Structures are given as C-alpha cells and as structure tokens.
Amino acid sequence: MRKTTRRDFLKTSTIAGAGFLVAAGNTARPARASALEGIAVADFGVGGKGGSDTANAACYCNTVVVCDVDKNTLAGAQEVYKDAKAFVDFREAFDTMGDKFDACTISTPDHMHTCITAMAIKAGKHCYTQKPLTRTIGEARYLGNLAKKYGVCTQMGNQGSSFDSMRNIVTQVKHGVIGEIKDVYVWTNRPVWAQGPNRDMTMEKFIAQVKAENPDDEEVVNDEIEEKKKQIAEALEILDWDLWLGTAPKREFWPGIYHSFQWRGWWDFGSGSLGDMACHTANMPYGACELKNPTRVVAESTGHDFNSFPAGCKIWFDFPANDWRGPVNFTWLDCKVLPDPTLFEKYHIENPTESGSLIVGEKGAVYSPDDYAANYLLVDNNGNPMDEIPGLEYRSAPTDERSGNFDTRNMLEFVTAIREGKPELCWSNFPNHAGPLTETILLGNLAVWTANEAGKRGETIEWDAENLIVTNLDSLKTPGVAELVRPKYADGYDQIEI
C-alpha cells in the first residue's frame, strides 16, 4: 500500500475515510443480518438525531414503540413505523408495552436521558442512549453502575467509535507510537445554536418590550400581544411542555428558544458545546491517552448568566500520571477558536480545520481534522510522516451490507452484543467507556459555571473523581456547583442514587 504523504493528506482531509487513514486489521467478521431478527425496540425521542437512531435500529430490530412529546414529530414516526404503538409520555409506554420490547433508543434532550435510560435498565432493557450520555456527572456514574448491575448491553451514540481508524490510532498511541504523551488539544466550531446571557423570554418581559417599542400606540401593542399568545397556544397544542420539561425546573414556554434544537444552550436542559461535541471529538484522545480521573479544571468564557451557556469558552484539565503514562494537560476550545498556530507550524499542519484534535507526544503528534478520527495524520517532531507500530491488533466493529454508514455500524455493534449476550462487545458501553468519558467531559462544565464573568478565568475546581466530590467546594464563591454533580429532579421523577 502506497504511503500517504502529508500533501496527499491535506488534499483529502475533509473527506470522511480519506487522508492518512489506516485500514489495518479489520479483524471482525461481518454480522449476519438474519441473526439479529427478533429484537423488539422502543424509541424515545424520534425527531432530529432520534429520527436517524430510530431508523438505524429499524435496520436490525422490530420497532414496537415510538414516543415523543412533539405530536407532529410523533405523527411522522407513526407514518413510517405503522405497526408501532405511539406514546407522548415515556412512563405510559413502559406501563403499557414494557413486556413487549427488549431494547430502547433514547434520543431526547440531555436532561431526560437519565430518567428514561434508568427506567429501561431497571426493567432489563438494553439501551442505546445519545451523547452526551447525561447532562451531569453524577448521572453518568449512576447509569454506568446500573448497566453493570443489571448486565444489559449499552452503547452511547458517539458513532465515531465504530471507525476502524479511530480504534487503530487509539491502539497505536497506547502502545507508544508517539512516545510519552504530553498534551492534548480538542477544538470545535460549536455552538451552532444560540448561547449567551439574557436570552430568556416570558410574556411579562415581552409585553414590557412591546410597550417600550410602541409607547404611543396601544392598538399595536395589543395586537402584538394577542398574536404572540395565539402563537404560543398553537405551539402548545402540538408540544406537551410539561412532559418536555420533565425533570427540569418549571419555566414558561417560549417559541423558538427551547424546542426543538435550541435547548442545547440552556444549563437546565443541555450541556453546551462541550457536552454536544466532546463525546465525539475528544473520544479518540480520551481512549488513546486514558483521560480518566482529572484532578483539576479551570475555564474562561465570554460570560454567562447561569441560565444560558456562554457563547464561547476555553477549558484546561489536569490529569495525573497513571500506571503507563505521565501527567497530561488537556485543553478544550470552542466557538471556532484554535490552539496556538505555532503548534500546527511545528508539525507542518496546514489549514487546520475548525473541529479537530491534536495529541502531542515525546516523539511526535497525532492530528485528526474531524470530529470522529475518521482521518488522522501521524508525524514526528519535524512534521514528517511516521510509521506505525507494525502488528498491533484492535477489535473492529461488526459490518454488514447496511452498515456502510458509521452511525448504522455503531448500532449494529449494539444489537450484535444483545444477540450474543456480551455487553462488553460495545465499544462505548456505559460502565467502561461512555460513563467515564462523559464524567471527564462534564467536569469542564463545572469550571465553566464558575467562569461567568467575560474574559476572566473562573474558580479552579479541585476534583476527587473516585468519590465525585469537589474537594474545595467549601471555598468556592460561586453557588450551584454541587447541583451540576448530583442534580435534583422535579417532582414525579425518581432521583438518582450513587
């Protein structure tokens, strides 16, 4: 096979599967589709990413339940999965159909992942839950513990885990291809949704604004108020707002700022750009460098109001040495901010992408120009391509005629594990990978929470990962940090137990 040059790589780095991508060791045999028949699945959240998760599951399973709080979205799913029973409330789905399905997909906003997934696991259901696994750190530990206790198969929806390229470079780095690991950088173009302070809206606030804009025209004021009330009423005929809020504190519905996509930018419902993309873009560095159990994290942001996430942030994590590597510094950057250009110059990386990762080692570096490590460049300290360590093996995800899409392949690995009764077959299973990865990532949001003043570093979070404790909590001036570790749910929902 011809060695890919750096020039070749740069030409193709934006094409998934191209560039300096290693196709070594596809050792897993394709799974037989016929062996996967008979698994019944219930899908919770069937719009947006939930739509593709539902479709991917349907490639291999019998869809018997579709559930969504948006009646239009639910009706669309019913048109496709005509034999499935439809529900708005996930609890009713379990009460009515709990003995009719074996597995679930959970693709709701982040704040509802845990309560639905926990109910499923306790009922012995296998779970494919979207990334980030949870909204808070404690919830991630809780789901990992539950999955281990009940022995179910689990997979998080960070589909890049199924790429051979990702699994190969993880193995290469862990075996020392770039020597002792020093630093890790991950950056993203997110958020691509609204974030920043003072974004909430209520009818009271709206009326005040309309009156201020039209101080001498009472008729215009009244017309605008009535029109907005009508818009809200029509929206709430379609969306069950109380069920959408679920475990979150009560707040007034307002069109366009929460449902359906903008929820990611709110602390009560999402986890910001870090939660959205780090389970993808940091997945390879996490596995390659074993970025577990950070001890310290600090952040700087553009400012926030403890309601909406900041428009952008920088986060610095410290990881102590473990039994095979020394200490590692990990830097997260979002909002299209990239690491220091001299890093790219050193390794002859031209035109770095807006989302990617870089692992710096003693002998060289690994650069991935995409969110999933579908491509990577392996270079020495002079920017020249490096040879990989020969003969290393890794476990590929299964493939079949329907799994050309890596998202579908990730689902295939999940249902293969169910069929074989081997939860460990799932790369991103909750106890061993997805849970600890999510814990590491979401620790960054504790630091962002304290970095509410624009351009000023927040308070340093000292962390005891084993016990999920902020060891300097008593000395922190910023309130509310503990709730980002162990959240309290609204009435009507079971609290987490760790």
* DSSP code string of 380-401: ETTS-B-PPPTT---PPPP--T
C-alpha–C-alpha distance, residues 498 and 495, integer Å: 10
DSSP 378: E
Per-residue model confidence (pLDDT) at position 378: 98
Q: Is 213 left (phi over 0), alpha (psi -120 to 50) or beta?
A: alpha
Per-residue model confidence (pLDDT) at position 8: 45
CA 38 vs. chain centroid, Å, equals 29
3-state secondary structure of 475: helix
Question: What is the pairing mode between strands 126-129 and 328-333?
Answer: unpaired
Task: Dump pLDDT digits (tens) for 361-420.
Answer: 999 999 999 999 999 999 999 999 999 999 999 999 999 999 989 999 999 999 999 999
Per-residue model confidence (pLDDT) at position 37: 60
Which stretches in the chain have pLDDT values below 50?
A: 1-36
- Contact between 314 and 333 (Cβ < 8 Å): yes
**Nearest alpha-carbon partner for 108 in 161, 154, 51, 62:** 51
Per-residue model confidence (pLDDT) at position 17: 31
Phi, psi of 239 (to 5 degrees): -105, 125
C-alpha–C-alpha distance, residues 401 and 398, integer Å: 11
C-alpha–C-alpha distance, residues 452 and 313, integer Å: 10
Task: Dump pLDDT digits (tens) for 150-190.
Answer: 999 999 999 999 999 999 999 999 999 999 999 999 999 99
Amino acid residing at 385: P
